[in-house]
Amino acid sequence: MYALTRLLCFILLLLLCGCATLNRSECQNADWRMIGLEDGSRGRDMSYIGNHRKACAKYNISPDLDQYQAGHDQGIKQYCTYIKGFQLGKGGGKYQGVCPAELENDFLLGFRRGGEIYSLTKEINRTEAAIRTKLNRIADLDDEEQDKEKLVISSKTSERGRRKLLEEIKQLQAEISYLDSEIDMLDQRQAAASNKLQMLKKRYQY
């Protein structure tokens, strides 16, 4: 019981440490302009300084807002570019509306184009997963069909049982045929999506 309590306390300590953006040494030696630049270049809003303020308050240290904002303004200019928007959209990220009006159009253009690639990639992955599921089902049905065929030719199987098995085999074959047709349609969909994806990558390359 004591060991369990110690383990829980240790986990809680790790979680609390993970929530802090800066430790004591970082707060004491903080270059707030550089911290603002780093946050801005990562697409974090100015309000993110609140996290630093909370972390450093434990050590009676307050952020330098002017220096942080100066760095953040510089960092946000590095973030609000076509390329960064494209990378964010391609990765399925969400835009937090941090870019100033004069930079937002280029960023959003990249973000939308990256989002197109992300959506197509997800569609291709979903289609591949659906194909694998149906192929696995066909493999199971093939095994079941073979087992029933062995019973059909077995001398221990009655005539009535043989007729029933043949009907079941017919149903299995019908399901396999249906799954094959579905896989063909999925293959066509996947090929179309893959071709479109390659076209977009060439069109949007930077």
Q: What are phi and psi of 81, to 5 degrees?
A: -125, 165
- Nearest Cα to Cα of residue 65 among 109, 95, 113, 33: 33
pTM: 0.76
Q: pLDDT tens digits, residue range 85-98?
A: 999 999 999 999 99
Q: pLDDT tens digits, residue range 103-120?
A: 999 999 999 999 999 999
* Tally of CB atoms within 10 A around 159: 7
Above 70 in pLDDT, residue 18?
no
Q: Using the 8-state DSSP alphabet, how is residue 125 labeled?
A: H
Range list of H helices, the chain: 2-19, 24-28, 32-41, 49-57, 65-79, 82-90, 101-152, 159-204
Q: pLDDT tens digits, residue range 125-180?
A: 999 999 999 999 999 999 999 999 999 999 999 999 999 999 999 999 999 999 99
**Encoded tokens for 177:** 């045929």
- Nearest Cα to Cα of residue 68 among 34, 99, 42, 25: 34
* Tally of CB atoms within 10 A around 122: 12
Q: Are 170 and 152 in contact (CB under 8 A)?
A: no
**Alpha-carbon span 39 to 68, nearest angstrom:** 9
Above 70 in pLDDT, residue 47?
yes
| Boundaries of every domain in the chain | 2-79, 115-204
